[in-house]
Amino acid sequence: MDAVPELTDKSGHRPRDDYARFHVFHERDWAKLRAGMPMTLSAEEIISLQGFNDRVEPGQVETIYLPISRLLSLYVEATEGLYRATQAFLGQTGERTPYIIGIAGSVAVGKTTTAQLLQTLISRWAGRPKVDLVTTDGFLYPNAHLIENGLMERKGFPESYDVGMLISFLTDVKAGERNVEAPVYSHLTYDRVVGEAITVDRPDILIVEGLNVLQTQRLSGDRPRVPFVSDFFDFSIYLDAEERLLEEWYMTRFNRLKETRFTDPLSYFHRYASASKEETEAFAKSLWERINLKNLRENVGPTKLRADLILVKGADHRITEVALRRV
């Protein structure tokens, strides 16, 4: 078997120091690792799985996502083997726990598209595993709580999440509990939806997508030791891009929302549907700089190197580089 290539970066230099613990691939070399993984999505399905203001070329599903799907299938199989070995050692029998995949990255980087593509590809493996997807938006505290505690300007920062509820949810899922509920978030009203929940019932694989899922911040309280959200992950992915691209995608998305979702009277940002282009762009840029960019620099970005796989995006959301942690 050929050795896995150690690639240089685009300038011809060795991989950056922060990638010293990773195998780094360009698209053409990563694509070779697809092996015989079959393409199970049509062009129409790929389009339907794209998140708002995100896009993925059908060709990159083959060159980027199918190798990821193959890698995950090998990892899941290996984990199942380890579980069986442990059960044999203990002289026990029982159902294995769900395999949990975490997906992290900045606002506007395209986490939703990656999560939905992987969910569909994995669900079409041989054996048709049950794959559920949960976003951590639902675990944001309700707006009333954020306002009361002066946290609306920190929405998306670690302290704006009910981390205790999220950890309780993941604990129950990992323990194989039936019908575990996760709260639902509305991007229309910009708030948690009262009385609605997503039910997760013993999936084979659970994908958890969110800004801060690789955070190591501890819960407040009198307990000296608490788990991190990422402690429950069997595999994690970080979507990366330059700040200038993230800002561009964020601004484009906000302007598109102005013409679509914001026109709904129930929208939290409805007042901007009739605002001038200049006023809207000034507000969006302020939101980006005050909240999203600040959160990226202080909390989200620093967790990148904790991921098992890093997908680096360039212009047009095209993945230009893949970094896989050395085992």
For 185-203, write each residue's pLDDT tens digit.
999 999 999 999 999 999 9
The Cα–Cα gap between 241 and 136 comes to 21
**Could you tell me the residue ranges of all domains in the chain?**
17-321
Residue positions counted in the chain? 327
Cα-based angle 23, 27, 30 (whole degrees, multiple of 5): 50
Q: How confident is the model at residue 8 (pLDDT cuts 50, 70, 90)?
A: very low
Give the pLDDT confidence score for residue 226 in this predicted structure. Answer: 66
Cα-based angle 229, 326, 314 (whole degrees, multiple of 5): 75
For 148-186, write each residue's pLDDT tens digit.
999 999 999 999 999 999 999 999 999 999 999 999 999
Residues 6+ apart with CB under 8 A from 64: 27, 30, 31, 311, 319, 322
Q: Cβ(171)–Cβ(232) under 8 Å?
A: yes
Neighbour count for residue 132 (Cβ, 10 Å): 22
Q: Which CATH superfamily is domain 17-321 in?
A: P-loop containing nucleotide triphosphate hydrolases (3.40.50.300)
Nearest to 123 by CA among 99, 103, 104: 99
For 271-307, write each residue's pLDDT tens digit.
999 999 999 999 999 999 999 999 999 999 999 999 9
State the alpha helices, DSSP H only, in the chain. 27-31, 43-48, 58-60, 66-90, 111-123, 143-148, 163-174, 243-259, 277-287, 293-295
Give the pLDDT confidence score for residue 275 in this predicted structure. Answer: 94
Sheet containing strand 319-325, strands side by side:
22-26, 319-325, 309-313, 235-240, 99-105, 205-209, 131-135
Residue 131 pLDDT > 60, yes or no? yes
Q: Which residues of 203-216 are buried (b: 16+ CB within 10 A; e: fewer)?
A: bbbbbbbbbbbbbe
Tokens encoding 86: 């442990």
Distance of alpha carbon 180 from its chain centroid, rounded? 20
Residue 20 pLDDT > 50, yes or no? yes
* Residue the block writes with tokens 């549907």: 273
For 231-275, write each residue's pLDDT tens digit.
999 999 999 999 999 999 999 999 999 999 999 999 999 999 999
Give the pLDDT confidence score for residue 327 in this predicted structure. Answer: 76
For 193-242, write each residue's pLDDT tens digit.
999 999 999 999 999 999 999 998 654 555 555 688 999 999 999 999 99
For 35-74, write each residue's pLDDT tens digit.
999 999 999 999 999 887 788 989 999 999 999 999 999 9
Nearest to 202 by CA among 130, 309, 126: 130
Give the pLDDT confidence score for residue 294 in this predicted structure. Answer: 97
For residue 169, what are the CA distances in angstroms to 73, 163, 201, 207, 260?
A: 25, 10, 12, 13, 33
- Beta strands 22-26 and 319-325: pairing type? antiparallel
Q: What sign results for the dihedral spanned by CA atoms 64, 81, 168, 294?
A: negative
Mean pLDDT calculated for residue range 118-122:
98
pTM over 0.75: yes
The Cα–Cα gap between 142 and 20 comes to 41
Give the pLDDT confidence score for residue 53 in this predicted structure. Answer: 79
The Cα–Cα gap between 163 and 219 comes to 7
The Cα–Cα gap between 51 and 35 comes to 28
